[in-house]
Amino acid sequence: FAGYISQVLKNYTDHACDGEYVSLRCPHRTTISIQSSFYGRIVPSHQMCPSRYPHSYATLIKEDVACSVGTSLQKMLDECQDRRSCQFLVNSRLFGTDPCPGTGKYLIVWYKCRPNEYKSKVACEDDKLRLSCKKSMVIAIYSAIFGRTQGGSLECPYQNLGMPMIECQSATALQLMIKRCHGKRSCSIYASTYEFGDPCYPGIQKHLNVIYTCDNTPLLLPVDETQPPVLTSSMEPVGVSTEMALLSNILAAYAFIT
């Protein structure tokens, strides 16, 4: 069961150079959920995906290290979203116009594995949230948010008390829900600042939103020993490293809890 949960919570990263195949896959009963994608070049070729041209030719052209396409994410959604696995050859023709001819490029994809069937429950601030599964089935938490999201919640309408509509979320909501509910047939928790702390300004109304599944064969899915490529911070587009670090901390917390 711990293997299945780590597979689902994990943020995967895969990459391929021009002329190589990129291959994404998820474990049984989950599908690919694309989080982000990049195609182009933002680091020199000696750091990632070396040029295939002879060195003498490469010196005649200036390598573009500020090269990217805006269609990368949409292409990945078209090719892989909601599938168990996908594979295709990486080249500039896939993404439309080549933004930097003569410069070798690469594709980096960030994705998660989303359960095929999942449930969502919401509790307004200070109300009790109850999760339960049928007999012989256990809870597997996929995500948990405590705070105030930009879109708000239909179940907990925002009452304007003179406070600005600012998004704010607890950094420990997922870890706490894992501790309380993972592997149990039922569980309950109050959507309160006593449990989750207060991530918002005083007076901001909050809610707890939990997405989970009920699994009746928790030992069916072993841990996948294969690991996606590890990229250094210099290889990541700006704005991604913080999210990756947060997810790593979440998994570390779960490992400590188990």
62-97 per-position pLDDT tens digit: 677 888 998 899 999 999 998 989 999 999 898 888
pLDDT at 204 over 70: yes
The 10s digit of each residue's pLDDT in 241-252 is 444 444 444 444
Q: State the average pLDDT over residues 40-46.
A: 86
Please, what CATH class does the domain formed by 1-115 belong to?
mainly beta
pLDDT at 163 over 80: no
Q: For residue 93, which phi and psi values (nearest 5 degrees)?
A: -65, -25
Strand 138-148 versus strand 207-215 pairing type: antiparallel
Looking at the chain, which residues constitute the CATH 2.60.120.740 domain(s)? Answer: 1-115, 119-215
Write the DSSP string, the chain. Answer: -HHHHHHHH--EEEEEETTSEEEEE--TTEEEEEEEEEEEESS-TTTSS--SS-HHHHTTS---SSEE-TTHHHHHHHHHTT-SEEEEE--GGGGSS-SSTTS--EEEEEEEEEESS-EEEEEETTSEEEEE--TT-EEEEEEEEEEE-TT--SSSPPP-SS-----EE-SSHHHHHHHHHTT-SEEEEE-SHHHH---S-TT---EEEEEEEEES-TTSSPPP---PPP--GGGSPTTSHHHHHHHHHHHHHHHHH-
Which pLDDT band, with edges at 50, 70 and 90, does 113 fall under?
Answer: confident
Distances (CA, A) of 246 to 38, 197, 242, 249: 20, 18, 6, 5
Highest mean pLDDT among 24-33, 121-130, 149-158: 121-130
Average pLDDT score over the chain:
76
pLDDT at 184 over 80: yes
Predicted pLDDT at 223: 33
Predicted pLDDT at 102: 83
Check if CATH label 2.60.120.740 holds for domain 119-215: yes
Predicted pLDDT at 80: 93
Distances (CA, A) of 205 to 77, 87, 173, 175, 188: 34, 44, 16, 22, 20
Q: Which residue has the higher pLDDT, 104 or 247?
A: 104
The 10s digit of each residue's pLDDT in 215-227 is 765 433 333 333 3
Predicted pLDDT at 132: 92
